[in-house]
Structure 1
Amino acid sequence: MLSSCCRYFPSICQCSRTICSIKLFSGERDNRLQHTVKRHYGTPLTDPENKGGQQRGVNFDTLGSWNNRLDMPIMMNESIKRGNLIPEIPFEHVGIDSLLGRRKVNEDRYFMEKISPTLLCFAVFDGHGGSVVSDFVSKVLTDHIKFWLLRETDLCTVLSQAFIDVNNMLARHSYFYSLDTKEFQAGTTATVCLLRDGIELAIGHVGDSRAILCREGLALRLSEDHVPENHREKDRVHQQGGIISHNSQGVWQVNGRLSMTRSLGDIELKKYGVTAHPYLTTKTLKHGKDAFLVLTTDGVNFVLNDQELIDIICCCSTPQEAASFVTDQALHFGSEDNSTAIVIPLGAWGKYRTTLRAIPYSFGRNLVRGRYS
């Protein structure tokens, strides 16, 4: 029997003879070799980009979709056309909040409108010198956007023309109807976003309100602050005869009146370089990486930097909770202005959930800077 085994399994038999001879030589007992079977549990599928600590096991991003905690419908035609799943953004999922703060009147305005089945519009306005201009612009701007959409396909051109048209309307009204009053010496910022086919984003912007995109958990600013501290804006105002100076509080102003270099309204300062031509930018959304778009007025921006704002929103469960939390924190951190926030969820909403690490940092920073003194 042994010889037949050696014939078919020579290597095993040779190894067995060697082991037996070693044991006999050393005087050890010839015990049966035992092997304990160890059970190896398979590790669950995870996404290395998924920074959300609460997401475990298999997630949709691993399977080629997005890890989204909102029930968002799919835009079937665009998804088939582009080969990627593109979510539709229902207005009931968009978070909006506006606080009076420590002011007597809330001069902030906002709107969102579905201009066509494939085109959404979101906007925030921060009025100064009264709310009449921000009120007026928020009511008529979409009419001009619709007018130019019938004549142009480029969204940036549409926004630029709409901004100029609305400002010209303000100038005509100021000249013919309000020449002897001060109500149309007011102005407003404007940050307007057009989202076409759920993926093509265009932004037109004047003033110091902001549009910030959360991509892979990081802040990506899509607007530019039009303030005298901006060297390009400062040079442009100087070339058109404007004077940049600072007041007793150290705030830089144009002709001692306005702390921004672009706005809608402020008709008397237009000849000194305070233009209504918007800063324009476009961005193609990546719903597997982009979590949300947030629009804010300077009541929020004054006390929270871009990444702090993103971290705060990432820790919230819903966009409405996030918008309310942002304005509450702005008030808590000492903002004296009206604060408004619009949080627009995108495909990766809930993917980059973080802790509240931004809040202590902001609070300490504000104390050091003496904003409570």
Structure 2
Amino acid sequence: MHIDSLSLSLSPSLRKTNLLLSYLFSPPPLSLSHRCEIHSLVMGAFLDKPKTEKHNEGGMGNGLHFGLSSMQGWRVEMEDAHTAVIGLPHGLTDWSFFAVYDGHAGAKVSACCAAQLMEHIIANEDFRGKLDVSQGTEIFPSIEDVQKGIKTGFLQFDDRMRTLPEMVSGEDKSGSTAVCTIVSPTHIFFANCGDSRAVLCRDAMCPFSTTDHKPVNPREKERIQNAGGSVMIQRVNGSLAVSRALGDFEYKNVEGKGPCEQLVSPEPEIFIQERNEKDEFLVLACDGIWDVMSNEELCDFVRSRMLITDSLEEICNQVVDTCLYKGSRDNMSIVLIAFPGAPKVSEEAIRKEKELDTRLENKIKEILDNSHPDDVNLSLVMHELMNDEIEGLPPGGGLSSKRSTVESILERLRPGKTDAGFSSD
């Protein structure tokens, strides 16, 4: 059967799979429209150059200090969202809530998460449980209450979203990951649904991170297959790259299966850590960050930047820029939460950073002296620097994290002749 007639008879998700398989396994000639659709499925929709404007927020309270940054990057739409609240309602003034939501197939679900998920978690009866008012008028849900309440909040919120008119009609098919943390005076609660990730840095180490929910994970794959689905090209039915998410209701219609037994589950995986005086910081970020930096690389980089500046927003901006320069093609969002034990600004670290900048400038001058003026641009200079062993580059970030510095030096040495060097190729 010709691919055009075959595609018309398939469901949307299976049609995507059919197109991708045809692309991968020597198909008959494809029409231009199918070639464009396959390119979009394989590569995603990208801009000619990245949008690098950033959204920042920051704040402090309850002994915490947070900063965040989000950037659209190469994607044609910004589908990420976030939540950051210090001092929660319903008597939880000593508690805080932070989250990152990575939307896909649209921004509707991630935006709803940012606006409503926290309230669904902390206001449901399971979360509040049997209130302990033994310490003044403060309300302290038990650990078990919080665990149960988080799950209830996720499932109730997902069920509520399903009734939205655009979801009922099928007009909106978007979904979103969610990685959240609730920080109480004694514990840190993590809830993860999808492939965004949270990492805890304690005593200069990364002792904990959430687990990404990918269709190829044995537990996830078993659930998908039990629901009548398959995992092809590492995706649910060959289409969706995450096995748990909020929204994505076209994957949640298997009769006889509960909400946590569907092809895509809205159930969060919950982790608990007792707070420790050696806790330094938490990072919540979408896969646009983790695609190009490991847990250890990001923690090392953040620690090194905390020795240079006390602006967590600036550190988040540096992380986002570094990931862009390392090759991330996705939206990028990061929330950084610092505990009292976080590294403090060091005069010695600042001095070493200035020495690094001086070394970079001297090497750039050498490159300019040994190159024809018409041949020199930022890409060439970065390439030449990568071939050189440069002492003192930021751990985890490397030369990519100094690209903005290199660009500034080059602009100062050759005013008006610096090209950012971005290309969609």
TM-score, normalised to structure 2, is 0.59
Note the 1:157-172 alignment, pairs <5 A. Answer: 157-172=148-163
Note the 1:348-359 alignment, pairs <5 A. Answer: 348-350=341-343, 356-359=394-397
Match of 2:75 in 1: 103
Check conservation: 1:156, 1:203, Cα contact below 8 A. no
| 2:184 alignment partner AA | R
Match of 2:380 in 1: none
Is the counterpart of residue 232 in structure 1 residue 219 in structure 2? yes
- 1:261-309 deviation digits (Å, cap 9, x = unpaired): 000001111234211111010001212x211000000100100010000
Match of 2:301 in 1: 312
Taking only aligned residues, the RMSD between alpha carbons, in angstroms, comes to: 2.5
Aligned pair in 2 of structure 1 residues 361, 324: CA closer, same or farther (>3 Å)? closer
Check conservation: 2:200, 2:208, Cα contact below 8 A. yes
Uncovered stretches (5+) of structure 2, i.e. residues with no partner: 1-59, 131-140, 255-261, 350-392, 402-423
CA distance in 1: counterparts of 2:250 and 2:167, whole angstroms = 13
Equivalent pairs, count: 270
1:323 deviation in Å? 1.1
Aligned pair in 2 of structure 1 residues 221, 362: CA closer, same or farther (>3 Å)? farther
SS for the counterpart of 1:95 is strand
- 1:160-211 deviation digits (Å, cap 9, x = unpaired): 111001110122225xx5433431x1100001111112x3111111000000
Match of 2:35 in 1: none
Match of 1:24 in 2: none
CA distance in 2: counterparts of 1:146 and 1:129, whole angstroms = 28
Is the counterpart of residue 189 in structure 1 residue 177 in structure 2? yes
1:131 deviation in Å? 0.1
Check conservation: 2:213, 2:242, Cα contact below 8 A. yes
1:97 deviation in Å? 0.2
- 1:63-117 deviation digits (Å, cap 9, x = unpaired): xxxxxxxxx88xxxxxxxxxxxxx712xxx3110001110121100001122121
Aligned pair in 2 of structure 1 residues 361, 242: CA closer, same or farther (>3 Å)? farther
Higher radius of gyration, 1 or 2: 1
The structure with the largest helix share of the pair is: 2
TM-score, normalised to structure 1, is 0.67
SS for the counterpart of 2:235 is strand
Uncovered stretches (5+) of structure 1, i.e. residues with no partner: 1-71, 74-86, 247-251, 364-371
Aligned pair in 2 of structure 1 residues 129, 314: CA closer, same or farther (>3 Å)? same
- Percent identical: 29
Aligned pair in 2 of structure 1 residues 356, 242: CA closer, same or farther (>3 Å)? same
Note the 1:1-373 alignment, pairs <5 A. Answer: 88-89=63-64, 93-113=65-85, 114-115=87-88, 116-148=92-124, 149-151=127-129, 153=141, 154-173=145-164, 177-183=166-172, 185-197=173-185, 199-246=186-233, 252-270=234-252, 271=254, 272-287=262-277, 289-316=278-305, 317-318=309-310, 319-350=312-343, 356-360=394-398
